[in-house]
């Protein structure tokens, strides 16, 4: 009974849910019914339109078949007339070709003239055995000789740009001119242009080094790269119809000799220019631009390592800067020593107290600051972002610190030994003179210390004090002689 009651309850719940679902979607059912009814009407109209289109297509097909059957007899005649019309147009172009070529040359439109002739050349060659075309061909050949002369004349004009010259060579190649002679003429003319660029750079040697390098890059090197690229496109990378087997090798050799010759002049000029630069910062910037620009030339000419030559110029310039700084340091040291010597002599004359600590500071401090400034200036040449320097994780110092300290200590010891030797020689000479000049046979018995002996003791004591001042070890001071000990000397 409980199970039956549960089934009845579930049935009632399901019935209630179904009624709720119907009520909630009633509007949607009505809308869907209207949409289906409308689609039936639209498809009916579309079916009528498709039937009408099928009838029209049948009519068009029938009409086309009727036209085709009507023109079947005259189709070959129309094709023949079309062929004759095309031939007449070609003949008309040929008859007008000499006049058109002459007009293009007078307009200096050489490119269009060559294009017109190349377009008609095959037809002229085909009908060259016909008398009526021989006159046209002869006139065209005479005009072409004039055109070639005008194009070659561009080689001798100083104001002709490299781009225009390359276009003229391209036109001459299309006119079947020998490529071997053209490549030589092209390089001879561009040689003059590069020489002009070098002369301009020579006149700029007094200008700022950065401006000089910018002009060298945008002027000489840019023109040289353009010349090389144009030459490669015209003669080496181009398939010539009359090309001999070894022409590409000869053309490459001509180009390599041309590049090496001009780059040697450029390197000589740059090498002389960088020798006169005293500002290391400007020199480093200029050399960095110079070195980076050379990378393009290595790609253009593989016979010579221009990057290596450029690196040698950079290294030589760095060595020149080091020599200049070394000379400056030596000169500064000499001036400082002269100043200290003059101050020392003045103070000893006035009050007998040289104040060696102050003089030592006067000598060491300026030299130390000068060396720091020089090292800081030269360190600009070792920056990681210059000259494409490779970074290494570990590297050894060229000169160990201990070796430098040993050299300085050895130099200081040699100076000290030399000073003591000179002062000792002066004291010994004074003693010798005092002994040699005295008449010991007739002298009286000494009662007091001789003046010369007092002077010797004072000089030795002064030397001892001066030498001891150079040592910082207070515990190791040299014992001074007492007054009583001085009286023992005769």
Per-position pLDDT tens, the chain of length 490: 788 888 888 888 888 888 787 777 777 777 888 888 888 888 878 888 888 899 899 899 988 888 877 776 676 777 777 777 776 676 666 667 777 778 877 877 878 888 877 777 777 777 667 776 677 777 777 887 888 788 777 777 767 777 777 787 888 877 777 778 888 888 888 888 888 888 888 888 777 888 888 888 888 888 888 888 888 887 877 655 555 557 778 888 888 888 888 888 988 988 888 887 777 788 888 888 888 888 767 776 666 778 888 888 888 888 888 888 888 889 988 888 888 888 877 765 555 555 667 777 888 888 888 888 888 777 766 655 555 555 444 556 667 888 888 998 899 899 889 988 998 898 888 888 887 777 777 777 777 777 788 888 888 888 888 788 777 655 444 444 444 344 344 3
* Res 1: pLDDT: 79
Is the separation of the CB atoms in 288 and 274 below 8 Å? Answer: no
Listed in sequence order, the DSSP H helices in 110-178 are: 110-126, 131-153, 162-174
Q: Rounded to an integer, what distance in angstroms lies between the CA atom of residue 280 and that of residue 283? A: 5
- Joined tokens for residue 435: 């002994």
* Res 121: pLDDT: 72
Residue 39, CA distances (Å) to 25, 31, 46, 50, 123 in order: 21, 12, 10, 16, 67
- Joined tokens for residue 455: 């002077």
* Res 418: pLDDT: 92
Both ends of the chain: CA-CA distance in Å? 156
- Joined tokens for residue 71: 């023109």
Q: What is the longest distance spanned by two Cα atoms in the chain?
A: 172
Q: Rounded to an integer, what distance in angstroms lies between the CA atom of residue 154 and that of residue 195? A: 18
Contacts of 285 (CB under 8 A, 6+ apart): 210
Q: Rounded to an integer, what distance in angstroms lies between the CA atom of residue 158 and that of residue 193? A: 7
* Res 220: pLDDT: 87
* Res 168: pLDDT: 79
| DSSP class of 127 | T
Answer positive or negative: Cα dihedral of 442, 445, 448, 452: positive
Contacts of 353 (CB under 8 A, 6+ apart): 347
CA angle 227, 231, 236 (to 5 degrees): 155
Closest CA to 431 of 452, 449, 448, 446: 452
E-strand stretches of 138-280: none
CA angle 259, 264, 267 (to 5 degrees): 120
What is the reported pTM?
A: 0.56
CA angle 148, 149, 154 (to 5 degrees): 100
């Amino acid at each position: 009974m409980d199970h039956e009651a549960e089934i009845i309850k579930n049935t009632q719940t399901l019935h209630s849910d179904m009624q709720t679902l119907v009520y909630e979607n009633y509007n949607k059912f009505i809308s869907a019914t209207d949409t289906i009814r409308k689609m039936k009407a639209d498809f009916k109209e579309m079916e009528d339109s498709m039937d009408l289109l099928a009838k029209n297509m049948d009519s068009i097909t029938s009409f086309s078949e009727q036209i085709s059957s009507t023109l079947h007899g005259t189709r070959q005649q129309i094709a023949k007339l079309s062929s004759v019309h095309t031939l007449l147009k070609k003949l008309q172009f040929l008859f007008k070709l000499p006049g058109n070529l002459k007009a293009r040359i007078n307009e200096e439109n050489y490119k269009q003239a060559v294009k017109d002739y190349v377009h008609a050349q095959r037809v002229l060659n085909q009908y060259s055995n016909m008398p009526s075309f021989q006159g046209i061909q002869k006139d065209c050949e005479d005009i072409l000789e004039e055109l070639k002369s005008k194009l070659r004349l561009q080689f001798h004009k100083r104001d002709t740009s490299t781009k225009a010259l390359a276009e003229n060579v391209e036109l001459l190649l299309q006119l079947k001119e020998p490529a071997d002679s053209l490549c030589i003429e092209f390089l001879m003319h561009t040689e003059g242009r590069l020489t002009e660029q070098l002369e301009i750079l020579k006149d700029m040697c007094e200008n700022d080094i950065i401006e000089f390098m910018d002009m060298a890059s945008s002027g000489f090197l840019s023109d040289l790269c353009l010349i090389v690229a144009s030459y490669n496109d015209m003669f080496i990378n181009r398939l010539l119809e009359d090309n001999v087997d070894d022409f590409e090798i000869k053309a490459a050799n001509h180009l390599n000799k041309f590049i090496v010759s001009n780059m040697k002049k450029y390197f000589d000029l740059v090498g002389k220019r960088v020798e006169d630069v005293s500002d290391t910062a400007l020199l480093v910037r200029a050399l960095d631009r110079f070195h980076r620009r050379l990378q393009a030339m290595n790609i253009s000419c593989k016979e010579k390592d221009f990057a290596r030559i450029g690196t040698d110029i950079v290294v030589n310039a760095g060595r020149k800067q080091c020599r200049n700084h070394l000379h400056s340091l030596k000169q500064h040291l000499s001036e400082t020593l002269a100043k200290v010597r003059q101050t020392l002599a003045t103070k000893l004359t006035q009050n007998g107290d040289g104040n060696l600590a102050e003089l030592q500071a006067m000598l060491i401090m300026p030299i130390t600051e000068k060396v720091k400034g020089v090292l800081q200036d030269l360190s600009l040449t070792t920056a990681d972002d210059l000259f494409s320097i490779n970074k290494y994780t570990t590297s050894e110092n060229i000169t160990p610190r201990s070796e430098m300290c040993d050299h300085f200590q050895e130099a200081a010891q040699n100076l000290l030994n030399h000073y003591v030797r000179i002062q000792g020689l002066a004291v010994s000479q004074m003693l010798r003179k005092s002994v040699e000049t005295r008449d010991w046979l007739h002298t009286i018995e000494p009662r007091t210390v001789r003046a010369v002996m007092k002077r010797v003791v004072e000089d030795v004591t002064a030397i001892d004090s001066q030498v001891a001042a150079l040592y910082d070890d207070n515990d190791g001071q040299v014992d001074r002689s007492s007054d009583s000990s001085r009286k023992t000397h005769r």
